[in-house]
Amino acid sequence: MIIRYAAPLRGELAVPGDKSISHRSIMLGALAEGRTEVSHFLTGADCLSTISCFRQMGIDISVDGTRVEVLGKGLHGLSEPSDVLDAGNSGTTVRLMSGILAGQPFASAITGDDSIQKRPMKRIIEPLTQMQASVVSLRDNGCVPLSIRGGRLCGIHYVSPVASAQVKSCVLLAGLYADGPVSVTEPVVSRNHSELMLRYFGADVVSEGTTVSVRPQPLLTGQKVQVPGDISSAAYFIAAALLVPGSEVLLRNVGINPTRDGMLRICAAMGADITLLNRDDSGAEPCADLLVRSSSLKGTVIGGDIIPTLIDELPVLAVLGAFAEGTTVIRDAAELKVKESDRIAVMIENLRRIGCDVEPADDGMIIHGGRPLHGAVIDSKKDHRVAMSFAVAALACDGEMEIADGDCVRISYPQFYEDLRQLCR
Ligand code: S3P
């Protein structure tokens, strides 16, 4: 993919549905009694992997554009898959599904692509094993393929060493099948979409500080789910509009759940001109329109409890840091190393290719911003968030940017380049 500056970004855009919420709508829809109707579903490759896993377990799911209908069979209605489940590139699919599979009275196996085969799964093997499931990493390396045999699970209070919504959600979903209450305490609160949606479908879920508890064996009932626009996808247009002089963009109906909105707070600290309009708190997930105007940015420090609320936006925030005046520090973000790629190493390598002065740290990076940057050949490592971050950088660089394996954006945003082109006309 080759990208170069064309014109300031102007106009309106409704970004695709939230990836985390789309996954969960299929999972809870499948485990609920009756029909779940989802609108503005994200049809990116990751969410399609979740759909195909549930189809393999006998759930009828129809997709019509961004409308999805799931005919749930209840907590105990899944059937044994005849083959290994394939999660593709999706960490959310593997980790959340493993919690569900641990509660089934049949054996199953789950795997995925080369990237997912390197990502850490001990973080879910550990709590599921404590709940009496048998979860085995078949290559004995703490990664997929996993073989899962469960059924009778016991209640636990799990203290997670990482702030991870995938770990928390895995344990809560397994908790639906336990013989007693299950709770999870995390070091810092991570995104709470599972808690909100479980409650919406009828489960008894209580959140207190950094601890969430679920009571076992609820009756989940199919619902209508309206998926808000994904703030993690909006992030690229926010960044592009801030960086390219003369830009003004209205991003419609973006999810602004406080466990996801850290980027907006960091952008404000950097001097960004972003206005929230038409705030809507009537549904389970708050949303708003975001009016973004180009701004001159200054460096900032990104670390501490805000990190889980912007973990997927750190690559594009690093790009903002590269163009901002002064120094931007990213810290407390060692989790970046175990995403779809090692996002500390990959961002540093590619930022250097465009001429940025950046130093690595164990848990982040230090970016000395503000010097003119130039186009280069970017190795995305097939990581969708890296590819989209450098597509944004291209608009503020001299010359053209070539993004290797740029089609990896299909993971979370299949029409990303078309939407970017349309705003830059
Ligand atoms: C997600 C949680 C986060 C995030 C990922 C989606 C989710 O991962 O990075 O893109 O839907 O629960 P971790 O739980 O590993 O932090």
**What pLDDT, in 10s, does the model give residues 130-142?**
999 999 999 999 9
CA distances from 289 to 110, 235, 269, 270, 371 (A): 38, 13, 20, 20, 32
pLDDT (0 to 100) of residue 112: 98
Q: How distant is the alpha carbon of residue 33 from its chain centre?
A: 27
Return the sign of the alpha-carbon dihedral for residues 386, 316, 11, 38: positive
Asked if pLDDT for residue 199 goes beyond 90, the answer is yes
Ligand 1 atom nearest the C-alpha of 96 is 12
Q: Is residue 92 in contact with ligand 1, taking CB distance under 6 Å?
A: yes
pLDDT (0 to 100) of residue 71: 98
Q: Is residue 184 in contact with ligand 1, taking CB distance under 6 Å?
A: no
Alpha carbon nearest to ligand 1 atom 15, residue:
164
pLDDT digits (tens, 9 = 90+) for 68-92: 999 999 999 999 999 999 999 999 9
CB 206 within 8 A of CB 19: no
pLDDT (0 to 100) of residue 332: 98
Ligand 1 atom nearest the C-alpha of 24 is 11
Q: What is the mean pLDDT of residues 187-191?
A: 98
Q: Which of 214, 175, 168 is nearest to 191 (CA)?
A: 168
The 8 Å CB, 24+ separation contacts for 188-191 are 188/163, 188/305, 188/307, 188/308, 189/163, 189/259, 189/305, 189/308, 190/163, 190/164, 190/165, 190/259, 190/308, 191/20, 191/165, 191/257, 191/259, 191/260, 191/308, 191/309
Q: Cα of 189 to ligand 1 centre, how many Å?
A: 12
Using most ligand atoms within 8 A of CB, pick from 94, 166, 260 the residue to mutate for ligand 1: 166
Asked if pLDDT for residue 289 goes beyond 90, the answer is yes
Q: What is the mean pLDDT of residues 378-394?
A: 98
Confidence of residue 150 (pLDDT cuts 50, 70, 90): confident
Q: What is the mean pLDDT of residues 301-312?
A: 98
Q: What is the mean pLDDT of residues 315-335?
A: 98
Q: Cα of 398 to ligand 1 centre, how many Å?
A: 34
Q: Which helix (H) or strand (E) holds 291?
A: strand 287-293
For residue 225, the SS3 value is strand
pLDDT digits (tens, 9 = 90+) for 35-77: 999 999 999 999 999 999 999 999 999 999 999 999 999 999 9
Structure-token pair, residue 63 = 């997709």
Confidence of residue 285 (pLDDT cuts 50, 70, 90): very high
Q: Cα of 92 to ligand 1 centre, how many Å?
A: 6
pLDDT (0 to 100) of residue 151: 83
Written as one string, the DSSP assignment of 12-75 is EE-PPBPHHHHHHHHHHHHHSEEEEEEES---SHHHHHHHHHHHHTT-EEEEETTEEEEEEE-T
Q: What is the mean pLDDT of residues 213-219?
A: 96
Confidence of residue 152 (pLDDT cuts 50, 70, 90): confident
CA distances from 273 to 79, 199, 238, 299, 419 (A): 51, 35, 10, 15, 21
Using most ligand atoms within 8 A of CB, pick from 90, 160, 191, 338 the residue to mutate for ligand 1: 191
Structure-token match 């940057």, residue found: 373
Residues 6+ apart with CB under 8 A from 422: 11, 13
Ligand 1 atom nearest the C-alpha of 338 is 15
pLDDT (0 to 100) of residue 411: 98
Task: Tell me the H-state helices in 193-330.
Answer: 193-200, 231-243, 262-270, 314-323
DSSP state of 406: G
* Rg of the chain taking only CA atoms, in angstroms: 21
Q: What is the mean pLDDT of residues 159-187?
A: 98
CB 405 within 8 A of CB 36: no
Using most ligand atoms within 8 A of CB, pick from 27, 49, 92 the residue to mutate for ligand 1: 92
- State the burial class of residue 43 (Cβ atoms within 10 Å of its Cβ: 0-12, 13-18, 19+): middle
pLDDT digits (tens, 9 = 90+) for 222-245: 999 999 999 999 999 999 999 999
Structure-token match 């209640």, residue found: 155
Ligand 1 atom nearest the C-alpha of 169 is 12
Q: Is residue 165 in contact with ligand 1, taking CB distance under 6 Å?
A: yes
Q: Cα of 397 to ligand 1 centre, how many Å?
A: 30
Is residue 363 flagged as an active site residue? no
Asked if pLDDT for residue 425 goes beyond 90, the answer is no
Catalytic residue of the set 46, 312, 379, 419: 312
User: Can you tell me the distance from the alpha carbon of 217 to that of 215, in angstroms, rounded to the nearest whole number?
Assistant: 7
User: Can you tell me the distance from the alpha carbon of 231 to that of 15, in angstroms, rounded to the nearest whole number?
Assistant: 8
pTM attached to this predicted model: 0.98
Asked if pLDDT for residue 372 goes beyond 90, the answer is yes
CB 336 within 8 A of CB 342: yes
User: Can you tell me the distance from the alpha carbon of 75 to that of 72, in angstroms, rounded to the nearest whole number?
Assistant: 9
Structure-token pair, residue 266 = 């960091």
Q: Cα of 178 to ligand 1 centre, how many Å?
A: 24
Domains of the chain, first to last:
2-16+228-424 (3.65.10.10), 19-226 (3.65.10.10)
Q: Cα of 164 to ligand 1 centre, how many Å?
A: 6
Question: Does the bond joining 258 to the residue before it have cis omega, within 30 degrees of 0?
Answer: no
Q: Cα of 308 to ligand 1 centre, how many Å?
A: 9
Structure-token pair, residue 248 = 């003004």
Confidence of residue 293 (pLDDT cuts 50, 70, 90): very high
Ligand 1 atom nearest the C-alpha of 165 is 14
Q: Cα of 257 to ligand 1 centre, how many Å?
A: 14
Ligand 1 atom nearest the C-alpha of 162 is 16
Alpha carbon nearest to ligand 1 atom 9, residue:
312
For residue 389, the SS3 value is helix
Q: Is residue 192 in contact with ligand 1, taking CB distance under 6 Å?
A: no
Q: Is residue 166 in contact with ligand 1, taking CB distance under 6 Å?
A: yes
pLDDT (0 to 100) of residue 6: 85
pLDDT digits (tens, 9 = 90+) for 402-416: 999 999 999 999 999
For residue 284, the SS3 value is coil
pLDDT (0 to 100) of residue 161: 97
Alpha carbon nearest to ligand 1 atom 10, residue:
312
The 8 Å CB, 24+ separation contacts for 271-276 are 271/295, 271/296, 271/297, 271/298, 272/238, 272/242, 272/297, 273/242, 274/238, 274/242
What interhelical angle do 19-31 and 193-200 show, nearest 10? 40
Instruction: Give the E-state strand segments of 80-228 in sequence order.
Output: 85-86, 107-111, 134-137, 146-149, 157-159, 182-185, 205-208, 211-214, 224-226
Q: Is residue 20 in contact with ligand 1, taking CB distance under 6 Å?
A: yes
